[in-house]
């Protein structure tokens, strides 16, 4: 049905498949060869190329975009100490962490309601969660411009409540960027949580009630822990793409809201400063990997792959 | 609903309006919350649809008035339809290749134990855990270093690369939930291994493969970031929309997006209805 559901599926491997065969030693390798080659050549090799590119320096007296391999590791500290780069990097993590928390706050009750309270409308509601995917995400992000514009409905309501002044607005701003990020990845949060909530055995919750647990305690001690694999999958599926996204910041923010993705894109495609862009890509990937590892270790679901 | 109950028990305790609202909210908090969440999810879709009727020339930003012209003339703006054709061609080819390669890997991973199995699992997982910006820029670095001209084929290579993993996990999930005894039963009834595979396994895995193919197509069709890095002059629909965002997006883009929304929705509904019928019959 969706990426999210598919990953949630792998997050806690369901019923075990048929007993693995041992004969035909070469068959699995033959089956995997074409796909593994594709990933090797077009995923792993490019990562190596990117790393080599990140150690290049400009050719002396050469044109823009001409670089030579000098294994200049100083590119890393140089880029990292430049506020043009570390500020957007920090901002990326701030925005994507905010979006992840917001998506969790919206997505968990939504998934819970669909799993336990929707009755025969369950499938309809599920389709409504994935329906946004049927419209190009760039157009949906642009629709947020119209919704959040000064003459749009959101600002009108906020002005009545008094949250923004009569001339104030929310687009373009950091709030609009975070709202857009939350919006774009909300289904990725909701679906895995739904997938793990759906498997929760109702009798366990009832048993907690029989043992005099209040509904809230029952939820906290039974349902919530059982849905943790979905929460972990959902937060990762939101945080990782949100941290690298640049479409929301470009369409809903000001230059003051640029994220690291915008910097990488601009440095790579407009400035043609490939080494710096490569350094930024590597730093982004490394910091995400470290954060994900720490997070997964802390939450305690190792069985992700 | 709240009105009914309050008129039913009119006399015993007189509740103030505020208290009644609070009581109703207490009972229906989750529903209200879900309603707001769905508004949040679907409002941009509604806006996209609404603005497909906007009587705006090239800059479809503010409401100018209602018209059917955009729907009657969906190719009216330059390049819109060409970009859609490009995206569809690309999507179909990517789906075909990624589904085949990914399904083969899924079979190898579920059906066999072999050296390097966990390494392969990691190789499948990594592209999904890598931000698109990194995937796109690293592949561009490769193409630049070996002087490959950018265009349709570089985008196709990139899309297949990031779609394979999603196909693998989708097919793998379906394959892992199959009852192995079905295949054994077929072989007990003198089916050869090939026959058992063709008559039993394949039909049972088919829905998983179909889901994976749909997923690959929608990922490819909607991708922007990786495409933007590796496409050169080649324009897909999302790229067309993004590039024209600075100058103003023609309302025809909204027409096409809305039409695709309803086609996809219809397909899902038909699929659900068929599924329900099968379960009943």
Q: Give the integer Cα–Cα distance in Å for A40 and A47.
A: 10
Half-sphere exposure of A22 (CA within 13 A, CB side): 0
Would you call B88 an interface residue with chain A, using a CB distance cutoff of 8 Å? no
Residue B196 has pLDDT above 70, yes or no: yes
Residue A206 lies in a domain: yes
Residue in B45, B131, B180 closest to A288 by CB: B131
pLDDT in tens, A166-184: 777 888 899 999 999 999 9
Rounded percentage of chain B residues whose pLDDT exceeds 90: 44
pLDDT in tens, A100-126: 999 999 999 999 999 998 888 888 899
Residue A105 lies in a domain: yes
Q: Which residues of A, range 10-49, sit inside 8 Å of B by Cβ?
A: 10, 13-22, 24-25, 27-29, 31-32, 34-36, 38-40, 42-47, 49
Residue A259's pLDDT is 95
Q: In chain B, count of helices (H) and strands (E)?
A: 13, 0
The two three-digit tokens of residue B7, written as one number: 């008129």
Residue A181's pLDDT is 96
B211 vs A contacts (CB less than 8 Å): 1
Residue A182 lies in a domain: yes
Q: Which of A240-244, A260-264, B10-14 has the lowest mean pLDDT?
A: B10-14
pLDDT in tens, A266-300: 999 999 899 999 999 999 999 998 998 888 888 76
pLDDT in tens, B166-176: 999 999 988 88
Residue A302 has pLDDT above 80, yes or no: no
Residue A201's pLDDT is 86
What mean pLDDT do residues A213-230 have?
Answer: 89
Residue in B62, B101, B225 closest to A34 by CB: B101
Residue B61 has pLDDT above 80, yes or no: no
Mean pLDDT of chain B: 87
pLDDT in tens, B202-256: 888 998 999 899 999 999 999 999 999 999 999 999 999 998 888 778 888 999 9
Residue A150 lies in a domain: yes
B102 vs A contacts (CB less than 8 Å): 35
Residue B194's pLDDT is 84
Residue in B141, B211, B242 closest to A1 by CB: B211
Residue A59 lies in a domain: no
Residue in B117, B241, B272 closest to A123 by CB: B272
Residue A300's pLDDT is 64
What mean pLDDT do residues B19-38 have?
Answer: 87
Residue A21's pLDDT is 53
Residue A12 has pLDDT above 70, yes or no: no
Q: Which residues of A, range 79-138, sit inside 8 Å of B by Cβ?
A: 106-107, 109-110, 112-114, 117, 123, 125, 127-138
Domain that holds residue A184: 83-299
Residue A166's pLDDT is 77
Q: Give the integer Cα–Cα distance in Å for B254 and A150.
A: 22
Q: In chain A, count of helices (H) and strands (E)?
A: 16, 2
Residue A97 has pLDDT above 60, yes or no: yes
Q: Give the integer Cα–Cα distance in Å for A24 and B99.
A: 24
Residue in A28, A44, A236 closest to B108 by CB: A28
Would you call B130 an interface residue with chain A, using a CB distance cutoff of 8 Å? yes
CATH number at residue A134: 1.10.3720.10
The torsion angles phi and psi of B81, rounded to 5 degrees, stand at -70, -35
Cβ of B2: how many Cβ atoms within 10 Å?
A: 13
Residue A9's pLDDT is 45
Residue A96 has pLDDT above 80, yes or no: yes
Residue A6 lies in a domain: no
Identify the band that residue A301 occupies on the pLDDT scale cut at 50, 70 and 90.
low
B165 vs A contacts (CB less than 8 Å): 39
Closest CA of chain A from B9, distance in Å: 26
B124 vs A contacts (CB less than 8 Å): 39
| CATH dotted code for B78-249 | 1.10.3720.10
Residue A179 lies in a domain: yes
Residue B76 has pLDDT above 70, yes or no: yes
pLDDT in tens, B97-129: 999 999 999 999 988 888 888 888 889 988 988
Q: Which residues of A, range 241-260, sit inside 8 Å of B by Cβ?
A: 241, 243-247, 251, 260
Residue A1 lies in a domain: no
What mean pLDDT do residues A13-22 have?
Answer: 47
Residue B14's pLDDT is 64
Q: How many domains does chain A have?
A: 1
Instruction: Parse chain B into domains and list their residue ranges.
Output: 2-71, 78-249
Picking from B53, B5, B60, the residue whose alpha carbon sits closest to that of residue B27 is B5
């Amino acid at each position: 049905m969706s990426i999210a559901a598919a990953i949630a599926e792998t997050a806690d491997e369901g019923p075990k498949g048929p007993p693995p065969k041992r004969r035909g030693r070469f068959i699995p390798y033959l089956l995997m060869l074409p796909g593994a080659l594709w990933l090797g050549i077009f995923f792993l090799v490019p990562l190596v190329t990117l790393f080599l590119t990140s150690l290049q320096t400009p050719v002396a007296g050469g044109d823009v975009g001409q670089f030579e391999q000098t294994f200049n590791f100083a590119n890393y500290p140089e880029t990292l100490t430049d506020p043009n780069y570390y500020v957007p990097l920090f901002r990326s993590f701030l925005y994507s962490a905010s979006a992840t928390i917001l998506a969790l706050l919206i997505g968990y009750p939504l998934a819970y309601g669909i799993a336990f309270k929707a009755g025969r409308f369950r499938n309809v509601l599920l389709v409504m969660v994935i329906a946004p995917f049927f419209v190009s995400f760039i157009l949906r992000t642009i629709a947020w411009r119209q919704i959040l514009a000064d003459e749009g409905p959101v600002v009108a309501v906020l002005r009545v409540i008094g949250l923004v002044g009569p001339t104030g607005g929310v687009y373009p701003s950091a709030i609009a960027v975070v709202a857009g990020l939350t919006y774009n990845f909300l289904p990725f949060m909701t679906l895995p949580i739904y997938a793990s909530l759906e498997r929760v055995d109702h009798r366990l919750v009832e048993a907690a009630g029989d043992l005099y647990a209040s509904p809230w305690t029952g939820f906290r001690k039974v349902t919530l822990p059982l849905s943790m694999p979905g929460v972990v999958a959902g937060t990762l599926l939101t945080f990782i793409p949100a941290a690298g996204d640049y479409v929301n910041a470009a369409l809903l923010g000001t230059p003051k809201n640029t994220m690291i993705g915008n910097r990488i894109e601009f440095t790579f495609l407009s400035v043609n400063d490939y080494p710096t862009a490569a350094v930024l890509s590597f730093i982004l990937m490394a910091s995400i990997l470290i954060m994900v590892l720490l997070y997964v270790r802390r939450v305690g679901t190792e069985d992700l792959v | 609903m709240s009105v009914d109950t309050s008129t039913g028990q009119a006399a015993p305790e007189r509740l103030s309006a505020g208290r009644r609202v609070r009581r109703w909210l207490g009972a229906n908090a989750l529903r209200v919350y879900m309603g707001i969440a769905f508004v949040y999810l679907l409002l941009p879709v509604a806006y996209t649809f609404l603005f497909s009727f906007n009587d705006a020339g090239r800059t479809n930003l503010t409401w100018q008035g209602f018209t059917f012209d955009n729907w009657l003339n969906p190719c009216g703006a330059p390049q819109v339809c060409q970009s859609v054709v490009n995206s569809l061609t690309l999507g179909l080819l990517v789906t075909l290749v990624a589904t085949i390669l990914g399904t083969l890997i899924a079979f190898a991973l579920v059906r066999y134990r072999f050296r390097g199995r966990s390494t392969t699992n990691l190789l499948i997982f990594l592209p999904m855990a890598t931000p698109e910006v990194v995937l796109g820029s690293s592949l561009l670095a490769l193409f630049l270093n070996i002087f490959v001209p950018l265009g349709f084929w570089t985008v196709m290579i990139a899309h297949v690369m990031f779609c394979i993993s999603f196909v693998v996990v989708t097919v793998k999930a379906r394959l892992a939930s199959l009852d192995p005894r079905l295949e054994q039963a077929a072989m007990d009834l003198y089916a050869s291994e090939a026959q058992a595979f063709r008559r039993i396994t394949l039909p049972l895995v088919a829905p998983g493969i179909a889901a994976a193919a749909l997923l690959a197509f929608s990922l490819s069709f909607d991708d922007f970031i990786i495409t933007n890095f590796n496409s050169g002059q080649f324009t897909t629909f999302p790229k067309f929309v993004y590039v024209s965002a600075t100058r103003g997006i023609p309302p025809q883009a909204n027409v096409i997006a809305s039409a695709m929304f309803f086609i996809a929705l219809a397909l899902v509904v038909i699929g659900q209805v068929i599924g329900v019928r099968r379960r009943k019959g």
